[in-house]
C-alpha cells in the first residue's frame, strides 16, 4: 500500500480506475443485477470512486485497487437492494441471488476473464435495435469507456447538453424494454457488431488525440481499445474481416504513439518523428491482421483507413511515402463516407501530391464545411497551406484562429511555435523546388483516425 497523504498519487490512480476498472465493474454489476438496474450500477460505482478518492488520499492506495473498488461497489449495491427490499416489503429471497453474488469476495483469479466478457456483453446490449441509433454509441462510451459527456460531445462534434439528453433517453429505454444481458443471436449479431466496432474506434481515437486534459496521448485508452477489439476478433461469431481491419488500423497507429512527442512533451510533425521509435512488432501484427481482413468481398471504412495507416508505416522515411496511393485510398474513403473530416484529411493528401494551392481548393470544396469551422485542425491545415504558399499574414491568422479553438496545452504550444516561425522567418519549413510543396509537416498525419461526423 502506498503511503498516506499522497493525494496527487491517489487522485491519479482513482482517475485511472474510473476509466478502466470502473467501466468493468459497471458491466459486471449489470450482468448480475440486470440491465434494468444499469443506473444503479453506475451510481454505486461512482460512489465507490468518490470513496476511493477520500480513503486512498488518507490511508494510501491499497495493494489491489481493482479488488477494493469492486468490493466497495458490491457492498453499496447490496445495501441499495436491501433498502429497496424493505421499502417494498417483499418476501424473503427477492434479492437472494444478487446477494449471494454480491457477498462473494472480489478479485478472484477468473476476474479478468469475467470482466472482459461482461464488458463486451453490455456493449452489445447498448446497441440493441430498440435503442435510438444516436444514443447507442453515446451510452457505450459513457458506461463502458468512462467518457465524460464533454468527451463524447467532442467525438460527435455536438454539445454536452445534447449528449446528456441521449444518455437519459437510452437508460430509460433500457428499463422499458428490460433488455437481456446477453450477446444477441447470429441473426442480430452482425448489425450490432458495427456499433461495437465504431465505439472501440472512438475509444482509441480519444487515446490517440485526447479532447480534454493536459496530455496529447492517453496510452491506456489505446491499449483498452486494442484489448477489446482483439477479443472481438477471437470470438467465433464476431471474427469478421471488418473487425480484423479495425484491429490492424489500431495497431498501426499504436505503433507510432511513442514518437508523437519529444522528451519534453512537445508535439512532433510526422516528418520530425524518429521512425526507429515506431514499434515494429505492432506493425508486423497489424500487417497480419490486414491479411486476415482481406477475406471476403466487402471493403469497409476500416479496411481503407488501415491501408492508409499501413502505407505510412511501411515508408522507411517521410520522403518515400506513397502519397498518390494515399490520395487514391482517400478518394475511395470519401466516396464511402461523405464525411467532412475525411474530406479534410484528403485535402492533406491532395497537397502532398499536387501542391498546397490544390490542397486549399480541396478544403474550399468541402460540403458541409460548417462542422469543421469549430475544429482547430481545420484552421491549422489552412494555415499550413498558406505558409507553404508564402502567404505569411494569412498563415498567422489561421494559426491564431486554430490556437483559440485548441483544447490541449500541447496543441496550443505547437501552434504558438508555428506563429513564431511565421513571424520570424516569413515562411515555416522549406519550399521544395519544382512543385511548391514544403518539407515541413502537419501536427498529425493523413490517415490518422479523427473524430467522425455525426451519423
The domains found in the chain, sorted by start residue, are 196-318 (no CATH), 322-455 (1.25.40)
Tens digit of each residue's pLDDT, the chain (455 residues): 455 445 555 555 555 555 566 777 777 777 777 666 777 777 777 777 777 777 776 677 777 777 777 787 777 777 777 666 654 544 444 444 444 444 444 444 433 333 345 777 778 888 888 888 778 888 888 877 777 788 788 777 788 888 888 888 888 888 788 776 666 776 677 778 888 899 899 889 988 988 777 788 888 889 888 988 998 898 887 889 999 999 999 999 999 999 998 888 888 988 889 999 999 999 999 999 999 999 888 999 999 999 999 999 999 999 999 999 999 999 999 999 999 999 999 999 999 999 999 999 999 999 888 889 999 999 999 999 999 999 999 999 999 999 999 989 999 999 999 999 998 865 444 333 233 333 344 444 333 444 333 22
74 contacts 106 by C-beta, under 8 angstroms = yes
Q: How far apart (Å, rounded) are the C-alpha atoms in residues 409 and 407?
A: 7
> Grid coordinates representing 450?
479523427
Contacts of 23 (CB under 8 A, 6+ apart): 119, 143, 144, 145, 146
Query: Residue for cell digits 430509460?
Result: 172
Length of the chain (residues): 455
Backbone torsions φ then ψ of 273, nearest 5 degrees? -75, 145
350 contacts 362 by C-beta, under 8 angstroms = yes
Q: How far apart (Å, rounded) are the C-alpha atoms in residues 388 and 158?
A: 32
Query: Residue for cell digits 467525438?
Result: 155
415 contacts 380 by C-beta, under 8 angstroms = yes
Amino acid at each position: 500500500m502506498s503511503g498516506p497523504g499522497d493525494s496527487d498519487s491517489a487522485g491519479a490512480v482513482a482517475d485511472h480506475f474510473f476509466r478502466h476498472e470502473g467501466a468493468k465493474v459497471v458491466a459486471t454489476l449489470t450482468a448480475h443485477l440486470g440491465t434494468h438496474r444499469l443506473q444503479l450500477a453506475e451510481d454505486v460505482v461512482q460512489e465507490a470512486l468518490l470513496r476511493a478518492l477520500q480513503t486512498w488520499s488518507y490511508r494510501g492506495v491499497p495493494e489491489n485497487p481493482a479488488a477494493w473498488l469492486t468490493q466497495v461497489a458490491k457492498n453499496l449495491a447490496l445495501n441499495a437492494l436491501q433498502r429497496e427490499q424493505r421499502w417494498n416489503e417483499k418476501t424473503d429471497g427477492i434479492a437472494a441471488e444478487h446477494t449471494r453474488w454480491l457477498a462473494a469476495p472480489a478479485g478472484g483469479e477468473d476476474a479478468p476473464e469475467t470482466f472482459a466478457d461482461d464488458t463486451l456483453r453490455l456493449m452489445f446490449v447498448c446497441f440493441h435495435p430498440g435503442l435510438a441509433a444516436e444514443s447507442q454509441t453515446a451510452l457505450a462510451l459513457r458506461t463502458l469507456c468512462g467518457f465524460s459527456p464533454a468527451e463524447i460531445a467532442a467525438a460527435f462534434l455536438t454539445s454536452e447538453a445534447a449528449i446528456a439528453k441521449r444518455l437519459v433517453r437510452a437508460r430509460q429505454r433500457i428499463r422499458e424494454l428490460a433488455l437481456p444481458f446477453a450477446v444477441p443471436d447470429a441473426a442480430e449479431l452482425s448489425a450490432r457488431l458495427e456499433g461495437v466496432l465504431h465505439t472501440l474506434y472512438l475509444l482509441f481515437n480519444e487515446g490517440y488525440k485526447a479532447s480534454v486534459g493536459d496530455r496529447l496521448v492517453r496510452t491506456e485508452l489505446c491499449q483498452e481499445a486494442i484489448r477489446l477489439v482483439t477479443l472481438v476478433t477471437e470470438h467465433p461469431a464476431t471474427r469478421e474481416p471488418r473487425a480484423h481491419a479495425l484491429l490492424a488500423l489500431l495497431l498501426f497507429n499504436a505503433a507510432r504513439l511513442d514518437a508523437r512527442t519529444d522528451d519534453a512533451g512537445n508535439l512532433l510533425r510526422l516528418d520530425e518523428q524518429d521512425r526507429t521509435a515506431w514499434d515494429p512488432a505492432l506493425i508486423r501484427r497489424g500487417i497480419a491482421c490486414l491479411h486476415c481482413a482481406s477475406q471476403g468481398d466487402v471493403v469497409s471504412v476500416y479496411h481503407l483507413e488501415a491501408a492508409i495507416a499501413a502505407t505510412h508505416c511501411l515508408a522507411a522515411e517521410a520522403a518515400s511515402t506513397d502519397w498518390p496511393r494515399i490520395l487514391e485510398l482517400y478518394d475511395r474513403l470519401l466516396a464511402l463516407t461523405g464525411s467532412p473530416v475525411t474530406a479534410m484529411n484528403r485535402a492533406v493528401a491532395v497537397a502532398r501530391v499536387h501542391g498546397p494551392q490544390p490542397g486549399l481548393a480541396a478544403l474550399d470544396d468541402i460540403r458541409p464545411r460548417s462542422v469543421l469551422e469549430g475544429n482547430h485542425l481545420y484552421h491549422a491545415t489552412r494555415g499550413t497551406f498558406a505558409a507553404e504558399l508564402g502567404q505569411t499574414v494569412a498563415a498567422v491568422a489561421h494559426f491564431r484562429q486554430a490556437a483559440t479553438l485548441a483544447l490541449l496545452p500541447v496543441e496550443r504550444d505547437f501552434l504558438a511555435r508555428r506563429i513564431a516561425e511565421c513571424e520570424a522567418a516569413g515562411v515555416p519549413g522549406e519550399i521544395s523546388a519544382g512543385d511548391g510543396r514544403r518539407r515541413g509537416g502537419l501536427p498529425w498525419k493523413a490517415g490518422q483516425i479523427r473524430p467522425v461526423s455525426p451519423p
